Amino acid sequence: MARIHEYFLFTLQKLCFTLNLFHISLNINGFPIKKAQAVLKTIQQKTDTELSSYIEAKKEAIVEFHIKHNSFYKTFAKDVNPQDWNSIPVMSKRHLQQPLKERLSEGFTQKNVYLNKTSGSSGDPFIFTKDTFCHALTWAGFIDRYRWFHLDFNSSKQARFYGIPLNKTGYYKERFKDFLSKRYRFSVFDLSDAQFEKNLIKFKTTKFDYINGYTSSIVQFAKYLKQKNLVLKAICPTLKVCIVTSEMLFEEDKMLLETHLGVPIINEYGAAELGLIAFQNTKNKWVVNTEDLYVEILDENDQVLPYGEEGRVVVTAFYNKAHPFIRYDLGDIGMLSKESTPNKPILETLIGRTNDVVKLPSGKKAAGLTFYYITKTVIEDDGNVKEFIIEQLKLDTFKISYVSNHELSKEKLVNINAAITKYLEPNLTVSFERRTALERSSRGKLKQFKSYL
């Protein structure tokens, strides 16, 4: 009976992918993927002059639409001039934390839109919507970028390092979606050597085309491979690429992944409410999406910064008529490369979240991940520490929690404190706590720095 059941599932899955099930499922759910792909192709065929005109026209058009059809935005952006972009106010997540029905445009209800919720990683979660064509265009963008690396959503087998709902309904729903989407989901809640050994067995027996998932979890798997002196590509020869998302990727970690996964490492930057913001191309350029989004880097006074300067990542969605995301402050700090042009912006770096800021007794401020990076360079050089997080308890007091094979030595603790003094400032109090595991979000993400100030 078990063999019959397995054969039935195999036959069903084979039939599903012969029929391009991914595209079919989008259409069945009301997302016109073919139309979206045709529109995307038309945009990509524009000349530089045509693209410049297109971007300016879409900026103006989406503002005009929401002023006319969205009562929330009409109140929020009163007295603006759609033709004067600097007059358009910047919106934050807190502006959107009100009942969804008050933010929906005319003609849209929860029954005729794509409905979802932000992850809450910024501390400001909220429910949002996208109209069906906008959501289809988001998928068209992902499909297009993945093809850069010869990946097909209908046929390429994915090794997925993502979280999963732990309630029965949510759990089995995600498992079924994984089955239909040709994905196998690995646990990001259990990062033990025993689980990684099970992962290896799965890679030995499955023809995976690519890995996709949370950076920190994949990094931990790579550290296990390093410990065993293994290269995953040798175990799973069909593996082509690894795409990391949702968390910071440090250069040292990228080198570790490249070495022990044995495939190119691709950086993906997106947000649930916006879709794909930037994707690394085959030349290692982090190309910003200009087809259905407009990305700006602003200072604290909402002024546009020149290329090469760090600031707040602010994004406008051109096609979402159900819900306004216009000059929307995503809560991230980033920088566009000096090589950028208005038509072809390149994301140089993604620094971290704007609310993850270290405030010090001297009045100095630094990105929380700067503190994390300083510590990382000291305590991970011998492979003892698997991962760690930093918490700011008071203005001058920090706690570092870590998972390791054995306790940090006194010499190591001295070196960490010396590095913190050198790169931040002296007289900071730092405590250390060794744990068996670090707390992750309900989705399995690891927040590497947290301030309680």
pLDDT at 286 over 90: yes
Any bridge partners for residue 314, and if so which?
Answer: 296, 329
What are the residue ranges spanned by the domains of the chain? 33-282, 357-451
Q: Which of 33, 20, 50 is nearest to 342 (CA)?
A: 50
Provide the pLDDT for residue 380: 61
424 backbone φψ class: left, alpha, beta (φ>0; ψ -120 to 50): alpha
pLDDT at 55 over 50: yes
- In the Cβ-directed half-sphere of 70, how many Cα atoms lie within 13 Å? 26
Both tokens assigned to 185: 């989901």
CA distances from 423 to 50, 61, 344 (A): 47, 47, 35
What mean pLDDT, rounded, does the chain reach? 87
Provide the pLDDT for residue 5: 43
pLDDT at 13 over 60: no
Provide the pLDDT for residue 12: 43
91-105, 259-273, 363-377 — which one is most confidently predicted on average? 259-273
Whole-angstrom distance, CA of residue 181 vs CA of residue 196: 23
pLDDT at 365 over 80: no
Quick one: fold of 357-451?
GMP Synthetase; Chain A, domain 3 (3.30.300)
Whole-angstrom distance, CA of residue 352 vs CA of residue 247: 9
Q: Residue 190 — φ and ψ, nearest 5°?
A: -115, 105
Quick one: fold of 33-282?
Rossmann fold (3.40.50)
Range 219-235 average pLDDT: 95
- DSSP assignment letter at 16: H
With cut-offs at 50, 70 and 90, classify the pLDDT of residue 348: very high
Site of tokens 């630094």: 366
138-147, 367-376, 413-422 — which one is most confidently predicted on average? 138-147
pLDDT at 124 over 60: no
Burial degree of 111 (CB within 10 A; 0-12, 13-18, 19+): exposed
Provide the pLDDT for residue 178: 83
Provide the pLDDT for residue 383: 61
Provide the pLDDT for residue 19: 52
Name, in order, each residue with C-beta under 8 angstroms of 438's C-beta and a sequence gap of 6 or more: 387, 388, 389, 401, 403, 446
Burial degree of 337 (CB within 10 A; 0-12, 13-18, 19+): middle
Whole-angstrom distance, CA of residue 279 vs CA of residue 202: 28
pLDDT in tens, 426-449: 999 999 999 988 887 766 677 778
pLDDT in tens, 60-86: 999 999 999 999 999 999 989 999 999
Q: Which residue has better confidence, 225 or 115?
A: 225
Q: End-to-end distance of the chain based on CA atoms, in angstroms?
A: 59
Provide the pLDDT for residue 107: 94
Q: Which residue has better confidence, 292 or 126?
A: 292
Q: Which helix (H) or strand (E) holds 137?
A: helix 132-147
pLDDT at 181 over 80: no
pLDDT at 145 over 90: yes
Provide the pLDDT for residue 416: 86
- In the Cβ-directed half-sphere of 47, how many Cα atoms lie within 13 Å? 2
Range 213-237 average pLDDT: 94
The string of DSSP codes covering 324-381 is --SSEEEEEEEEE-TT--SSS-BEEEEEEETT-EEE-TTS-EEEHHHHHHHHHHHHTT
Provide the pLDDT for residue 422: 80
Provide the pLDDT for residue 418: 87
pLDDT at 367 over 80: no
What is the amino acid identity at position 157?
A: K
- DSSP assignment letter at 189: S
Q: What is the distance, to the nearest Å, from the Cα of residue 347 to the centroid of all Cα atoms in its chain?
A: 14
> How many residues does the structure list for the chain?
453
pLDDT in tens, 160-171: 998 776 667 777
Share above pLDDT 70 across residues of the chain, in percent, rounded to a whole number: 88
Both tokens assigned to 93: 């997540």
Going through 246-318 in order, the beta strands assigned E by DSSP cover 265-271, 275-280, 286-288, 293-298, 311-317
Provide the pLDDT for residue 80: 92
Q: Which of 396, 373, 388 is nearest to 451 (CA)?
A: 396
Task: State the pTM of this model.
Answer: 0.81
Whole-angstrom distance, CA of residue 407 vs CA of residue 385: 9
CB 33 within 8 A of CB 136: yes
CB 351 within 8 A of CB 445: no
Provide the pLDDT for residue 228: 96
Site of tokens 């005109």: 53
How many other β-carbons are positioned within 10 Å of the β-carbon of residue 270?
18
CA distances from 284 to 122, 153, 180, 346 (A): 28, 22, 31, 10
Provide the pLDDT for residue 373: 63
pLDDT at 248 over 90: no
Radius of gyration of the chain (CA): 23
